[in-house]
């Protein structure tokens, strides 16, 4: 164990790594004030996800689904990225290939400065037509008649609901990144929603060093090479700091990727 509590096995690998993946879930945004889905205060403790984050739920009650998304959209427009997001963005300068694969729809990785981001489940700030997929940039007021696209289709949030396929190109890029990663970080996810939950397993099978950063153990923990238990907004900046100070102290100092 190094002085700051991170195992040498991790720091040494980070020192040699070229291809690193950070795969994140709702937990990384919790310290920004965005509620998670499960666990303490999770939004799914109060309602069933199938009612609001599914095609059937939307078709059954589009007004209610829009109210839920408008509420979450308003909340996400008022929050800021936290030190966990910023640390991942800062790690980018140290590796030739750093890919962020996020299940989150809050756009906080982009606002923190990460440049290669794969949004598996879409982005809450975008609306699209249910039928033709055309983006629709006007505000939606759930209290008024819901607008329709020129093709007659209903307008919905541009997010992936349960039972829906993920965007093919994004999912393909995510599996490619997982298959070639030397280090795969799983951060702030309960690791149950598929196909996102398969990515760390694909990476581990291909020989990646698997690091989990989470408040509590998950089904992935037994498979991880290192489990860093705690808040990502605390752990990731400390890991970055230790990694960078180790880099500076090394002969030849800063290593350019």
- Count of residues engaged in binding ligand BV8, rule: CB under 6 A: 36
Q: Which residues have a Cβ under 8 Å from the Cβ of 157 and sit 6 or more positions away?
A: 66, 69, 73, 122, 124, 126, 127, 128
Active-site residue 71, yes or no? no
CA 159 remoteness from chain centre: 13
216 lies in the site for ligand BV8, by CB under 6 A:
yes
Q: Which residues have a Cβ under 8 Å from the Cβ of 147 and sit 6 or more positions away?
A: 136, 138, 140, 155
Tokens in use for 250?
């090394």
* Among 85, 109, 121, 168, the one annotated catalytic: 121
Per-residue mark of binding to ligand BV8, 34-63 (x: CB under 6 A): --xxxx--x----------x----------
Q: Which residues have a Cβ under 8 Å from the Cβ of 171 and sit 6 or more positions away?
A: 120, 195
149 lies in the site for Zn ion, by CB under 5 A:
yes
Q: Which residues have a Cβ under 8 Å from the Cβ of 48 and sit 6 or more positions away?
A: none
Q: How many residues appear in the chain?
A: 257
155 lies in the site for Zn ion, by CB under 5 A:
no
Considering the complex, what minimum distance in angstroms separates the CB of residue 249 from ligand BV8? 29
- Long-range contact set of residues 133-140: C-beta below 8 Å, sequence gap at least 24: 140/66, 140/70
Q: Which residue is nearest to ligand BV8, using beta carbons?
A: 27
CA dist., res. 80 & res. 243, Å (int): 25
Q: Which of 7, 49, 62, 153 binds Zn ion (CB under 5 A)?
A: 153
CA 192 remoteness from chain centre: 14
Residue 246 near which of ligand BV8, Zn ion, none (CB within 5-8 Å, type-dependent): none
Q: Which of 99, 127, 189, 242 binds ligand BV8 (CB under 6 A)?
A: 189
237 lies in the site for ligand BV8, by CB under 6 A:
no
Residue 83 near which of Zn ion, ligand BV8, none (CB within 5-8 Å, type-dependent): none
Q: What is the DSSP letter of 54?
A: B
Residue 162 near which of Zn ion, ligand BV8, none (CB within 5-8 Å, type-dependent): ligand BV8
Binding residues vs Zn ion (CB under 5 A): 129, 131-132, 134, 149, 151, 153
Contact residues for ligand BV8, defined by CB under 6 A? 25-27, 30-31, 36-39, 42, 53, 103, 105, 121, 159-165, 188-190, 192-194, 196, 213-216, 218, 231-233
Active site residues: 121
């Amino acid at each position: 164990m190094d002085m700051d509590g991170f195992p040498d096995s991790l720091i040494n690998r980070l020192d040699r790594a070229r291809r690193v993946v950070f795969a994140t879930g709702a937990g990384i945004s919790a310290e920004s004030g965005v509620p998670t889905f499960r666990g303490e205060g999770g939004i799914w403790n109060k309602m069933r996800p199938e009612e609001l984050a599914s095609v059937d739920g939307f078709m059954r009650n589009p007004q209610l689904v829009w109210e839920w998304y408008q509420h979450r959209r308003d909340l996400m427009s008022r929050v800021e990225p936290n030190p966990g997001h910023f640390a991942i963005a800062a790690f980018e300068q140290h590796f030739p290939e750093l890919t962020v694969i996020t299940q989150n729809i809050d756009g906080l990785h982009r606002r923190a400065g990460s440049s290669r981001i794969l949004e598996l489940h879409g982005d809450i700030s975008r609306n699209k037509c249910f039928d033709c997929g055309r983006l629709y940039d006007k505000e939606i007021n759930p209290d008024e008649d819901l607008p329709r696209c020129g093709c007659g289709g209903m307008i919905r949030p541009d997010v992936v609901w349960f039972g829906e396929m993920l965007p093919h190109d994004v999912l393909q890029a995510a599996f490619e990144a997982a298959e070639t990663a030397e280090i795969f970080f799983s951060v702030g996810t309960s690791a149950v929603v598929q196909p996102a939950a398969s990515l760390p397993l694909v990476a581990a099978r291909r020989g990646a060093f698997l690091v989990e950063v989470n408040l509590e153990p998950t089904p992935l923990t037994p498979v991880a090479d290192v489990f860093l238990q705690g808040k990502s907004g605390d752990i990731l900046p400390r890991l970055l700091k230790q990694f960078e100070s180790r880099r500076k102290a090394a002969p030849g100092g800063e290593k350019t990727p």
